[in-house]
Every structure is written in structure tokens, then in C-alpha cells.
Structure 1
């Protein structure tokens, strides 16, 4: 074994003893957190080792040359994180959209996107046990039965392939254990919040075990539709996961898992700040948590998937892994396009994704100077869409030229995607302290599109009529190289250069007739690529009571894809996707976790960001030059501070948990135009520029020392911030916004049999 690896594996065994049974004091508010097995020792108050699989093999997070945040199971629980969208509070330079699941968007270092239509992909991949979950509707998973979450910042094209130009989110599930377990929980709170949880683990034999998790969440909406009395932006979701693990032999194990989620709720895609064409203010429902619309729209989805993972240790010391998976996502979504009490125009969407993946990995022995992973990956996805813009009974009162109670626009079609890739990622110990990291991925992807749109009844909106039957193939080679230097047993500096690519595609949306004349070239856009440079420092100091992670990065994007509404004049808008922009994202991330005593942990994190369009002529409203403008959803500053304290209560044979989280996000823009509001002499509104905001969350709990029960009082957004989360301008020129969920609080309890 090389000296470098001896240094990395020389961990003080005392650091593995826990001060409290089955208890973790994990970081909050955005630091690079502890693994699921993390804790403190009474003797040294030290942080335990963090083990991650960011490079598809188990490694100390300290020596992985990637800026990342890793959250263990109890960190997720103690911070009250229930869904993927909640993770945005936990890491610097990470933003996750808080609006509809239909348009879920993860933004890392100012770079992100939602897959609004089946021809456009995201920029951050979300993975469950190595399986890509798919497009925006599938992103906001309930975090059920997870052992750890890893948020990887920067391009991850070598190991994760396409659509990870900004980063990746890894969800790692708990594996069934050899212990018989049953845990039940209930969580109740304001807005009639009810959450019921159950997790069981059952050994079936000496070599086989099964786990089952179920979760049911219901919550009333916090926005009232004054027109019909409906409460919108509610939650009604059921999710579950079953996992079977079998150690077939000393060398072979099989994990078979299946998960399911269904959601049926009154959706919400914003409330109007103006009437159509910005001709005035709404006549009613002007409060941030009120609306006045003639219809309530659905947001229903069904997601399920299954996977089989085979691990086999060869006699030579190599290990082989096979991951076979199938995923299905179906989303039904609607909008009230006019956002008024009149029955003018509404839309109805149904998008379906069917995905099959197969991955083979070969991992070298870990006891040599050269270690590596070789992989082959196959991906196929069938995407189907069916969407309608429906004219209502009142539309005849407006000069749109559309017959009442008719279909104004109809479109639908399929995109079939097939991708093959090979990759390698490795590490070579040049000296006892200096290590060279390397990797590449070669991929070939073909998209076949068969799509048509009929806007012949769209009148003044001038929506296109035509069809596309086309195919495009993209080939890409994405390399990565890094240097990692061990300054000591627990202190590393690294330099990394990485690349990635985002798929090209087609703008399959409600396109304007002037944009689409029938040629595929009118709505096709090219691939986007990135090269990123990163310099980082990771260390555990003061007898491993202080953990520091910092990174400085610079990323250049070529042919950056921009999906935006453009002004058509006369108050109308249209959706476009262009490759017109060059983008630069640069900044600093600093994260620290400090354990001054065995019961106290303090964490802090700061992210500084400068993400701009290096070149985007004509990208602003009215064709204005958007060069040097900020990227959408790219705050200059994100910061967090967290404190967690355990206080033993011997008289109750339990321990009191006190926890508080604070996070700050600075101003940011929503569109490339970087508007500082909108005013036309009739209306004067906040739009585009989102104000800075603070969030305060807290939790007080009593935990049984025998690990049988625990009960918590919790609160989120305790300062009741009502900051604007998003704003946009819709098809009829209406300015729309959505605001933060108000203060929530409740009681949560769990019992283990």
C-alpha cells in the first residue's frame, strides 16, 4: 500500500466512538456536513470521518477534489428537510426553486434550468443510488429512507454524463440491515399539516434482508382563491420504497429496490401583479397570499422506478458492479393563462417520461498507487407530451379573434433519446503526498423528434402551425484532471479542471408563427459546453474539532442555452430557446464546522458568486443587449450559520436537543434583462429583481437515551418572511409572482419498537 493511502487510512480509532447512543450532531445551514455515521467522541470532541461516493467509489470526502456538501440521515431529519427542494437552504451557491414541481430547477453556482418541455433538459442531474431520476417533474422527490445526500458543485460530465454542467445531486438510500426494526412517526402542524411515516427492516435469512418505508403527507394550501374559496399550493403526496438486499456469497451481493410517489393537489404557478397586457391592477386578491381566478388548476404526478444493483468482488481484487433501472414519470398540469376571474384562456398539459438505463462499472483494487473506475453506460428515454390552450366562454368579449369554448392551440408529440457512453476516472499517487486525478467520458446521443402544433385558431396570438419529424446526434468528449496534495494526514489542497455538456434539442412549446415556419432549424438549438477551473483546500484541524472546506472557481460556458419569454410588442410574449450567450461564473465557497465541546456544534458557510452573460447581444427585453447582465437566479452572496446543542437530562433518561439555523440570500434577477421592477404609467410593480431575504428555522427535541422515542417542536421561516420567490411575464403580458411559504410550526414524534 502506498504511503499516501497509509496516511489517509491512519484514522484514530477513538474517533469512531459516539458520545450519545445512535445520535448525531450534524452541521446545519450549508456546510460540508457529516456522513450518516458521523458523531462526536467524549474523549476528544472530534468530528468523525466523512465517507462519500461522489467518484463512484467510497472515499474520504476530505481527499476528494470536488466542492461538495454531504448530509447524513440525521442531518436531514434534524433540519426538517422533507423534499429535494428544501436542500437549497443547506449549501452555499445552491438554489432550488420553490414554485411548481412541474418546473423544478436546481441552480448551482448561478447555473441551472428547468425542463419546461420535453425538448429541453436540465443542467443539474439528480440521482438515486446512481440512477438518473429524469427531468424537472421528477426532481422534487420526497426524501424517504435516505442514508446520505451529496450535492456536488461544478461540472460532473466525466462520471455523470450529460446535463450535469452545473453539478449533481446524489441521493443514497439506506440499505437493509441484519437487525429487525420498526419505526413509526407522526408530524402535525399549522395549515393542517399531517405527515405519517413508517419504516421497517426485516432480516429474512442470514444473508437476506428487506426494508420498507411509507410516507403520507397532507397540508392545506396557504393561498386562498377568493373567487371560489379553494386553497391552493397545498400538499397531498404518498411515497414509499421497498428494498431487498441479499449477500449471495462472500463475493456477491444483490440490491433490488422499487420506489413510488403520487401527488394530487391544487397547483399554483403564481398570482397576478397586473391585469392582462399590464393594463392595470387586479380588482381583487391583491394580498400576497390571495388570488382571484375563475379556476383552480391541477398539479398531479405519478413517479415510480425500480432498480437492480449487483456487486461482485473478483479474485484479482477488482470489483464489478451492474446497475439496471427503469423510471416512469407522468405529470398533469394546468394554468389559468389570464390569471383573472374571466374565463379567457387556460392550458392543460400531460407529459410522460419512460426511461431505461444500464451501467457497468469495473473498479480496481484499492491497495495500489493507481486506482480507477471504468464504466459503460446506456440510456434511453421516450418522452411524450400533449398540451392544449383552451379558449373559455368570455374570450369573445376581447378582440383576440378566437371562438369561445374552442381549442385555441393544440400540440403534441414524442422525443426518443438514446445515448451510449464510456468513461474512466482514476487516481495515481505520484509521491507519498501528491496525487494525480484523471478522467474522461465519451458519449454519443441521438434524439428523434416527431411533433406537431396547430395554432390555426390562435387568432391575434399568432401561434405557429406545422410539424417536425427530425433527428439530431451529438458526440462529446469530456475530460477531467486534478492534482491533490496532502499537506498532512488531515489537510489537502487541490486543483481541478473539469468539463461537461448539456444536450441540444428542440423548442417544443407554444412557439410563435414568426419563429417557426415549418423547418426543424427554426426551433432546434445546439449543445452547450463548459470548462471549469477550481482550487480548493480541505482540512480537519484542532485535533479534528474543526473542519474547513474552501474552493475558488472559474467556469466558462459556450453556446449557453437560454429559455425565456420575449416581448412581441403589443403586450404579448413568446417562448424562445437560443444559443446566443457566453457565460462566466466565478466565485468562492467557504464552509466550516467546529466542535468546541462534546455537545456543541457550530457551522458556518459563505458563498460569493459573480455569474454573468459574457456575451448576449439582443438577449434583453425589446432586443436590448444583455451582455454583462447577471444570470437568472444567481445571488451574489449566500450565507448560513447553524448551532446545535445537546443537553443531557438524566432525570428523564433522555437528552434535550436545541437547534437553530439561519440562512441569507442576496438580491438576484429572474430574467436576462435584469429589470429593477416594471412601470408603464398605469402600474408600478416589483418584478424580475428579487429582494434579499433571511430564513430562520429552529428545533427543540427530547430524545430517549435508549433510542426508543424522540419528540420535537419545530418551526420554519420563524421570522415569517414573505419575500418574492419568483416572477415572470406570461403569454397575455400579465406580470406574475410567487412568494415564500409563511411561518410553519408543529410537533413531530417517532417511536421505535
Structure 2
């Protein structure tokens, strides 16, 4: 069955559900209406339907139904968004939106999709698969967000929003069990409001065995133990001032995933190359553990003034990761050892207000500083190939503003929003390497950029609006950690994107249906891309500003109450991303200096992606019955843009089925009980997470097969 055919079937099913509703009885009441979704994508709380952004929002209830506890878990739920683990470290994520992203994880190269925890920028992709102990909502903002979010959001932004302390005291405990010895314990304690202060403590622990059995000494591949905690304190000083403090930590322990040969001459005759998922494997000398630790403090002070809400956001975060990855399927071969330390501090002053009935505005000042220390040792059969250390520092300052005019002459139906952000970046790096015959290298560079934006949003009715926007994004330059000696200096420059977008926000049949859509065209210039100069030395890559690309596409998100208690969700994304120019900058290549765009592909840019799901809810004698099932699909894609062996970085298309059945609100005295059974990848789809060329053979690791379990939650 072709990808297009599968897509057509899924979309036809969604359309038939929506069409059938027009013939259903239009009964009034909450059961036949979609609940309003509130978001803070534009730094103020407003309805998702009134926000002129292509945005998906996952509430706490939806996150529970989908089994989401970290950012990696939403992979597949947001079309035109690609989230996959980085090959060396499963705690790091590669995030692309609309074909724009960064397929590497370096302390001196920034991501292209900004990730924020309660408004605080997470500079590194390391640790993004760590559990967040108490998520209230995830917002996925597709497309450049250069004004309000700033640099490194050329692809988009993701907001992780935690639950705040409640006014009422309470305790809840969740325990989970599943196959492969999976278990989880989640404890939440609310003090309730004591005077003017409320606090919340959340602690989570989980573990599971790996799904590839280790035939040698050590733990199974992919086995892990996780822990995460969060303490949140809210002080309502008076009617005008509030103070929020939070501390969070997370830790991941366990070995990395198993790379198996999938094509070419296998390095181990006992493990022949196979395109199917192996159930067992081993590393030469045994499996070694990896560890990731992250923690952070934040202090947010809000003051209501005559000109709006003035907010101070201060944050400090740090991380440490020690990882070992082996690529040679049980023979003495290529092994990577990495030790990364990073710390960051940020300070933001933000003013959000209104002027009369026609104007609202957001203005801010931003400061950020980051320091990193990265050590890497690469060996082949114990022989050192590379040993390097990179010490780096990055500093950024920005000033931004956005003003929206809603003229009363048009009954406030037209919103004209003009925004701009000026950013100045400074970055320095010192690198030592055993491959550098000329000794250590040092470098520093500064960049600055102004990013304007313009949005026109018109409400044709109270339930139908359209918008058009022109937005720009900027990603700062940097130095290449994994460079050859010639590739470290000069640094690679900034990259830029200019995006044009038309969007629709609508609700129908007394809020029984919501249908949002967007079509976009983007011009991507001075792209930062890695080039492997030699597949025999994949540990050395150089980053260049290779040229230009264009990205066209569209996406839609549909929610509909089919009948009372049954809700359909369907989202679809189409991306046509192509290089316009790609200048080969490998000095030893025959095509050096030439345009090789006809041989290059945009990485992590599947043409089609979609998700379809049904949620059912009905009161029963003992509580509330909830059932959900979803299916998500991704077209084939590549993990790199240009390589002599592109097929070595190829990922097949795949579709995943998940389901959950629960009974909630079971009354036991003064407590409520919830019991839920769930399953993920129910048909055990075999799909590659990452594929890589290693010279004479290709290697890959596969996604998790079918998993299932049960959650029990008791709340007081």
C-alpha cells in the first residue's frame, strides 16, 4: 500500500466522520461542544482559535492519554514536526519543523527549533528526553518565531508548561507496570494555599529493560532508569505582585541503543547485515553505562502596573552527560565516549499590556550566557582516532516588541500586528585535538540581526478568521566541535529564513467542529549543514553555510465531536523542501566549489505526515469510561543532506498504532481511583530510528516494539 494511498484512506475516514456530523442531531450542551483551549504562545493567555499561529496544544489530559512525560514522546503526534533521538545520545533530540532543524548535537552549534520550559530557553538538546515531572500543557508552534522567541527558532518553538501549585491541598499517587519489566511511580503533593503561599512537590521514578537483549556482559541495550522531581512555590504577595520559584531535576541511567548492520559487509560474520530488527546483540568488551543529569532554578516575579503586567524571568540551568556508544556489532571497532558539561543563565524583562480598546503590546529585554566543556574520545579496536576538548562560551542580548492594532472602526475584527527583535550574539571556543598537527585552535566571533514580522488577522465571524503573516527567523553562527583541522576556522555564519503564511481558524456547528489550516512558503538562506568529508572518518564533520533552500507546504488540524462522547482528531502535514543551491565545500571532493543541489536532499523532511485518533468518554455506574486510539504516519526521509552514501542515512516510512482504555473518577470514600490500560506500537511496526554509513557497511538502530502496561492512580 503506497504512502499516498494510506494518506488518502486516513483523510477520507476523517472527512467522513466530519461530514456525518452535519446529519446528526444538533443537541445543545457541553457534551456536544469542544472545550476551549487556552495557550500562551504570544506571551498572554488567549484562546488557541484566536491565536494567528499554526499551533498544536496538548493538555494534561491529552498528555496522559498519549503517555507523554517528555518531549520525545510527542513524536508522531504533530505533523510537519520531526523529533528523533540523536545517534550518539538517546537523551538528545533532533527536532525539525517544516523541514527546518539541526541534525547534530554540539555545544557550539545551536538548534533551529527553540524549546522552552515555563518560558525559559533550553539551549542544548541534551536531556530533552528527560522526564518533566508535572506537565500541564505542551504547545507546538510551527514556523519561525523570531520576534517573541528570538534566535534559534527558524523552524519553530515548543513550550513545555508545568502545572502550578493549586489552592486546594491534595495528594495523588500513580503506579504503573508493563512488559519488559517496566514500572513507574509518580507522586504529587499539594500543600494548598496557606496564607498567601502555595507549594507543590512532584517526584517521578521509572525503569524498563531494553528491547534488544545483550548477549554479552552488562545490561540490555536501551535499558534505562529515570528519575525526575520538581518543587514549585507560589507567593501571592498582594493583589498586584506574585512570585513563582521552581527547582527541577532529572536523571537518566542506562546503556545506549544497539546499532546493527543493515547492509554491506558486516564487521561481524556472526551478525550478518539485516534490514529487520535484531532481538539480541553485543558490544566487544561488554556494554557500558551512560548517564545524564540536568537541574535548574527559576524565579518569576509578576507585577501589575498601570501600563500592563511587568514580569521578570530569571533562570539558571546546568547539565552533565557521560555517554558511550559502539557501532560495531560485537567486534572491536568504532566507539565514541563523550563527556559534556554545560551551564546557562538567562534574564528576561517582559511587559504585556493594553492601551485603550484598540492596542495591545508585548515588549522585552533579554540576556543569556552559556558555558560549555565537551570532551570526546573516539577509538577503533582500542586505537585512538580522535581525542578532543572544546571549551566554549556564548552570550546573547536582545530587545523586542510587538504591537497589535484592532481598529474600532472595523468593530475590532481586524488585527494588524507589527513586531521586531534585535539580537546580538558573541561566541568563543578553544579546541585541542590529537588530529590537529598545528596545535590548539581558538576563535571568537560576533553576529547581530534584526528580525521583523507582520501579521494581518481578520475575524469574518465570531467563529471564522483568516490571517496572513510574513515572519523572519535567525539562527546564530558558531564553531564546529567535530571539525577537521582546516574546518574549525573560520566559524560558520548565521542562517536566516523568511516565511510567508496564510492561515484559517474556524469552529462550526455550535463548537462541535474546529478546523484550522495553514499554507506556507519559506526561503532558507546561508544554511548551516554538516558535511562528512570521508565515510571512513565519520567522527570528523565540518559545518558550512552551503546555500539556499525553499520550503513549501500546508497543514491542517481537525477536531470534531462525532456523537456525544466521541471526539475525532486528525492532523495532516505536507512539506515540499528542496535545495536551490548547495555548494560542495569539501576540499578533496571532485565537486569542490560546485553546486550539487541536484544530489542533495533536505534532511528530516518527510513529504507527508499525519495522525488520526478517536477519543470516547461515557459515564458508567462506577465512574467515567475513557477509550482512545490513534495512528500516526511518517513518509520516508533522510538523516543527512549530502553524503557519498546517502542511502546509509535513509529512514523508511512507518506507521504506529497506540491505544488506551481507562475508568476514572471511581469513588473510594474521599478518594478518587483511576485505572488505565495502554499499548503503544500495537502491531510491533519495525522502523529505524537512525541509520548511518560506516564505510563498508551501514548500521542502524530500531524503534521500540509493542509495549503495554497498566496505570493506577489514587487521588485524595
Alignment correspondent of 2:493: 526
RMSD: 2.4
Distance 1:691 1:159, change over 3 A: same
Partner of 1:608: 574
Greater displacement, 117-126 / 667-676: 667-676
Name stretches of at least 5 consecutive residues in structure 2 with no aligned partner.
1-13, 19-26
Q: Which moved more, 1:603-612 or 1:373-382?
A: 603-612
- The CA deviation string for residues 444-497 of structure 1, in whole angstroms up to 9 with x for no partner, is 110121221122xxxxxxx66532222100001011110000011121100011
| More deviation, 295-304/524-533 | 295-304
Q: Is the 8 A contact 2:91 2:128 kept in 1?
A: no
TM-score w.r.t. structure 1 length? Answer: 0.85
How far the C-alpha of 1:134 sits from its partner, in A, is 2.0
Structure-2 change in CA distance of 1:447 and 1:244 (3 Å): same
Q: Distance in 2 between matches of 1:390 and 1:640?
A: 42
1:276-316 per-residue CA deviation (whole Å, 9 max, x = no partner) reads xx5766422755333232132433111000000001101x2
Q: 1:342 to 1:92 in 2, by over 3 A?
A: closer
Indicate the residue corresponding to 2:662 in structure 1.
Answer: 701
How does the TM-score come out when normalised to structure 2? 0.90
Q: Counterparts of 2:271 and 2:599 in 1: how far apart (Å)?
A: 39
**Deviation per residue, 1:345-388 (Å, 9 max, x gap):** 53321111100000001112375211001100000000111122
Correspondence for 1:494: 467
Question: 2:712 matched to 1:749?
Answer: yes
Q: Match of 2:152?
A: 163
Residues 548 and 591, structure 1, Cα contact 8 Å, conserved in 2: yes
Partner of 2:11: none
Q: Distance in 2 between matches of 1:373 and 1:748?
A: 42
Matched with 2:290 is: 299
Equivalence for 2:484? 512
Aligned to 1:403: none
Cα contact 1:709–1:751 (8 A) shared by 2: yes
CA distance in 2, matches of 1:356, 1:41: 51
Partner of 2:454: 481
Q: What is the distance in 1 between the residues matched to 2:185 and 2:531?
A: 40
> CA–CA distance in 2 between the matches of 1:733 and 1:628?
21
Superposed counterparts of 1:226-375, under 5 Å = 226-228=215-217, 230-268=219-257, 270-273=259-262, 278=265, 282-284=269-271, 287-294=277-284, 295-314=286-305, 316-336=306-326, 339-365=328-354, 368-375=357-364
Q: Is the 8 A contact 2:92 2:128 kept in 1?
A: no
Asked if 1:176 is matched to 2:174, the reply is no
Q: Structure 1 residues 74, 346: closer, same or farther in 2, change over 3 A?
A: same
Gapped regions of structure 1 (runs ≥ 5): 1-26, 32-39, 396-406, 456-462, 679-686
Aligned to 2:430: 450
Instruction: Indicate conservation of the 8 Å contact 1:617/1:627, yes or no.
Output: no
**Is residue 515 of structure 2 the alignment partner of residue 548 of structure 1?**
yes
CA–CA distance in structure 1, aligned partners of residues 280 and 532 of structure 2:
25
Q: Secondary structure, in 3 states, of the residue corresponding to 2:562?
A: coil
Residues 282, 619 of structure 1: alpha-carbon distance in 2 compared, 3 angstrom cutoff: farther
Deviation at 1:89, TM superposition (A): 1.8
**In structure 2, how many angstroms separate the alpha carbons of the residues matched to 1:66 and 1:423?**
18
1:142 aligns to what SS in structure 2?
coil
C-alpha distance in 2 between matches for 1:366 and 1:267: 54
Say if 1:465 and 1:528 are closer, same or farther in 2 by CA, change over 3 A: same
CA 1:274–1:283: 2 relative to 1, 3 Å: farther
User: Taking structure 1 as reference, are residues 703 and 367 closer, same or farther at Cα in structure 2, changes over 3 Å only?
Assistant: farther
- Contact kept in structure 2, 1:712 and 1:748, CA below 8 Å: yes
User: How is 1:18-417 mapped onto 2 (pairs within 5 angstroms)?
Assistant: 42=29, 45-98=32-85, 100-203=89-192, 205-228=194-217, 230-268=219-257, 270-273=259-262, 278=265, 282-284=269-271, 287-294=277-284, 295-314=286-305, 316-336=306-326, 339-365=328-354, 368-390=357-379, 392=381, 407-417=384-394
Shift of the 359–733 alpha-carbon distance from structure 1 to 2, 3 Å rule, reads farther
Q: 1:648 aligns with which of 608, 619, 624?
A: 619
Q: Does 1:662 align with 2:631?
A: yes
Match of 1:402 in 2: none
* The one of 544, 557, 561 aligned to 1:595: 561
**Alignment deviations for residues 626-684 of structure 1 (CA, whole Å, 9 cap, x no partner):** 3374311111111111111113212x2x1211111111111112222488975xxxxxx
SS of equivalent residue, structure 1 residue 150:
strand
**Aligned 8 A contact 1:607 1:637 in 2:** yes
Residue 425 of structure 1, CA deviation: 1.6
Post-superposition Cα deviations, 1:581-607, rounded to whole Å, max 9, x if no partner, equal: 211111010111001333110111111
Partner of 1:718: 682
Q: Aligned equivalents of 2:493 and 2:249: distance in 1?
A: 34
Alpha-carbon spacing, 1:733–1:247, altered in 2? closer, same or farther (3 Å): farther
SS in 2 for 1:596: strand
* C-alpha contact 1:566 1:573 (8 A) present in aligned 2: no
Count the aligned residue pairs: 675
In 2, Cα distance between equivalents of 1:333 and 1:98 = 14
Q: Is the 8 A contact 2:31 2:565 kept in 1?
A: no
Distance, in Å, in 2 between the alignment partners of 1:551 and 1:488 is: 19
Contact 1:630 1:674 (C-alpha < 8 Å) held by counterparts: no
Deviation at 1:573, TM superposition (A): 7.0
